[in-house]
Amino acid sequence: MLTTNGRPVRMLLVYPDYTDRDCTAKVSGGNYMEGLASISAVLKQGGHDCRLLHLLYLHSEQDYKNKLRLMKEQYGFDIVGFSVRTTAFPDAKEYIRWTKDLYPDCFVICGGYHPTLVPDEVLAVDGVDCVCVGDGEYAELDLCDRIRDGLDYTDLESLYFKLPDGSFRHNPIRPLFSDLDRIPIPDFELFDYDNLESSKVGTAIVVVSRGCFYNCTYCGNGNFRKVYPNKKIYARFRSPENAILYLKTLLSRHPCIKVINFRDAIFNMFPDWFDHFIDLYIKEIHLPCTGNIRFDILTEDTVKKMKEAGFYTIDMGLESGDPEMRFQILRRFQTDEMIIRCSSWFHKYGIAQLTYNIIGLPFEDIHRALKTIKLNARIKSDRVIPNIFYPYEGTKLYEISKEAGFIPEGDFSKRRVPLVQPQFPEEQVLFIEGYFGHFVRCYKRAFAMPKRIGPLYEKWLDHRVTGKHVPYRFYVRIHDGYAHLRGKIQDFVVNHLPKVYMKLRMLKHRKRAEKS
Ligand code: B12
Ligand code: SF4
């Protein structure tokens, strides 16, 4: 049993924070993560200490070990905690192995989305001693307290342990508490905050809630909440007053922040909360902001108020333009009319609209994907983000994909198109993803044309997307080259000329808003 003999515990959190396989060292950037900042705040409030090893790119063994050694020399951690989202799991396994190579006696705990969805799979990994299921702040605090006091910790709620004989001990999951104001303001300084990718362009990633009460089949939320004994209160917000306190604290510590990006799953999930918060935000903060909004619970009045508050743009999950896919496969009960009506309010009040879309869903084909392009064009979305569907283990859509035989054998996490579906081959999915924005622009033009020419142009475009002889592979190759170059230029501007990037971005948003 690990103990620090009365000394406060030192915890090192490891955050593999990258989504590509680029191994080039980066000196700055990375994302803020509310969960880790929150754990750190609670541990520090409890008298322990916490540091972060923020992995901004795929590390080689030597690179990782050098960093860990340095941390050990400078900080002397007792526990290493890995935050693991599903797509980071294969790399996390390597980092854990290398950690144990260097420090065989070090206690390793994993938490985050993947360990919550499939705890035993994570606990089975060599080197993992413990897994945290669900929210981690108070499980971690109790663990550190017991380690400090030399007490048995293997019965702690929300933690699963690997025992010396290799068996697993599953403890019950602690109930959620409804009052998020109990959690201290996050420890923003766990991160090199002013150097984060968002901070460099004057933007703060802010999360003032937990969870979501919807059940979209591709999203982990439906399953994250199942682990709790009182799952009904899974979706919770800080009180509007406490959320304002959060923002004021952040702004006083980091005056470089000029824009707030609310990354809560659905910012208007509780319409009364949202209206009250906006009133306070107008009075007390009033900085340009953006957030993720759901169409079906919005009123025109709220959109009007959002404009007043400083919302210059909003994000919304459109996901699929095919109503059948939306209702039956994704379980998102939003009609085309609803989506079109809400979007018109955003145009009316000059708030730019960004939509998220999924390509390569199970049972989708290029004709259905084309409907997604067309719906984006119809609502005149200002910015479109196409994402290729990834079947997260533990989600309903993973099960559906597996049952249909669309999930290939072996590790599919590194495939560009995870599902293998005869009716929607890889090159077509990549083509739609690559040229999504281009075609949305073309269809916008078609829909704006006079009645006699518009439909003809639309037909010609349909043929360019779904025609029999479209050279999909060739187009994909051209797009890949272009995207690589564009990414390099954008990285350079964000990291070396952040002020120019910020100015260009604000200018672009202003232009869009003026246009609408
Ligand atoms: C805000 C957010 C973001 C932000 C911030 C990212 C971040 N890492 O937090 C941004 C916009 C950058 C982002 C990006 C991405 N995101 Co995101 N994001 C969210 C969102 C909406 C809320 C997360 C949040 O802050 N929750 C509140 C905090 C307090 O909770 P938490 O993070 O879960 O942390 C708690 C526990 O998990 C646990 N815990 C976490 N780590 C650890 C570590 C240890 C040691 C312990 C003990 C406990 C522990 O304790 C924490 C405190 O209670 C969720 C959806 C949702 N509703 O949860 C998706 C979600 C996390 N995102 C997801 C994905 C896929 C991504 C991207 C990969 C998307 C992409 N293709 O680019 C990237 C990955 C970026 C990255 N480097 O991590 C998935 C993850 C699915 C999965 N199974 O792993 C989610 C769940 C949405 C979904 N599709 O289901 N995201
Ligand atoms: S509304 Fe968003 S966060 Fe909520 S379940 Fe659906 S996809 Fe997940």
Atom of ligand 1 nearest to the CA of 33: 9
Which pair of structure tokens corresponds to residue 120? 């035993």
DSSP secondary structure, 326-347, as one string: IIIIS-----HHHHHHHHHHHH
Atom of ligand 2 nearest to the CA of 219: 8
Q: Which residues line ligand 2 (CB under 6 A)?
A: 212, 214, 216, 219, 221, 265-266, 317
- Compute, in angstroms, the gap from residue 319 CA to the centroid of ligand 2: 11
Nearest CA to ligand 1 atom 68: 19
Q: Classify residue 472 by its DSSP letter.
A: H
- Compute, in angstroms, the gap from residue 220 CA to the centroid of ligand 2: 8
Of 340, 339, 266, 268, the C-alpha closest to 303 is: 268
3-state secondary structure 24-49: CCCCCCCCCCHHHHHHHHHHHHCCCE
Ligand nearest to the CA of 129: 1
In order of 88, 91, 104, 165, the CA distances from 126 in angstroms are: 16, 13, 11, 13
Ligand nearest to the CA of 156: 1
Ligand nearest to the CA of 138: 1
Ligand nearest to the CA of 234: 1
How would you write the pLDDT of the chain (516 residues) with one tens digit per residue?
Answer: 899 999 999 999 999 998 877 777 666 679 999 999 999 999 999 999 999 999 999 999 999 999 999 999 999 999 999 999 988 999 999 999 999 999 999 999 999 999 998 999 999 999 999 999 999 999 999 999 999 999 999 999 999 999 999 999 999 999 999 999 999 999 999 999 999 989 988 999 999 999 998 999 999 888 889 999 999 999 999 999 999 999 999 999 999 999 999 999 999 999 999 999 999 999 999 999 999 999 888 899 999 999 999 999 999 999 999 999 999 999 999 999 999 999 999 999 999 999 999 999 999 999 999 999 999 999 999 999 999 999 988 889 999 999 999 999 988 887 899 999 999 999 999 999 999 999 999 999 999 999 889 999 999 999 999 999 999 999 999 999 988 888 888 777 777 777 787 777 767 766 655 554
Contact 223, 134 (CB under 8 A): no
Atom of ligand 2 nearest to the CA of 215: 5
Atom of ligand 1 nearest to the CA of 86: 84
Q: What is the CA radius of gyration of the chain?
A: 24
State the pTM of this model.
Answer: 0.90
Contact 211, 235 (CB under 8 A): yes
Q: Which residues line ligand 1 (CB under 6 A)?
A: 13, 17, 19, 31, 33-36, 38-39, 81-83, 85-87, 109, 111-114, 117, 132, 135-137, 140, 205, 207, 210-212, 219-221, 263, 265, 392
User: For a substitution probing ligand 2, which of 117, 212, 327 has the most ligand atoms within 8 Å of its CB?
Assistant: 212
Domains and CATH numbers, the chain: 10-170 (3.40.50.280), 198-515 (3.80.30.20)
Nearest CA to ligand 2 atom 8: 219
Ligand nearest to the CA of 290: 1
Q: Classify residue 292 by its DSSP letter.
A: B
Nearest CA to ligand 2 atom 6: 216
- Compute, in angstroms, the gap from residue 206 CA to the centroid of ligand 2: 17
User: For a substitution probing ligand 1, which of 26, 36, 50, 113 has the most ligand atoms within 8 Å of its CB?
Assistant: 113
| pLDDT of the residue at 295 | 84
Which DSSP helix (H) or strand (E) runs through 263?
none
Nearest CA to ligand 2 atom 2: 265
Atom of ligand 2 nearest to the CA of 218: 7
User: For a substitution probing ligand 1, which of 79, 83, 91, 212 has the most ligand atoms within 8 Å of its CB?
Assistant: 83
Whose tokens are 């019950």? That residue is 172
Whose tokens are 């699929």? That residue is 320
User: For a substitution probing ligand 1, which of 133, 171, 263, 417 has the most ligand atoms within 8 Å of its CB?
Assistant: 263
Contact 269, 234 (CB under 8 A): no
Ligand nearest to the CA of 222: 2
- Compute, in angstroms, the gap from residue 266 CA to the centroid of ligand 2: 7
CA distance 432 to 425: 11
Nearest CA to ligand 1 atom 64: 85
User: For a substitution probing ligand 2, which of 213, 216, 225, 263 has the most ligand atoms within 8 Å of its CB?
Assistant: 216
CA distance 44 to 42: 5
- Compute, in angstroms, the gap from residue 375 CA to the centroid of ligand 2: 20
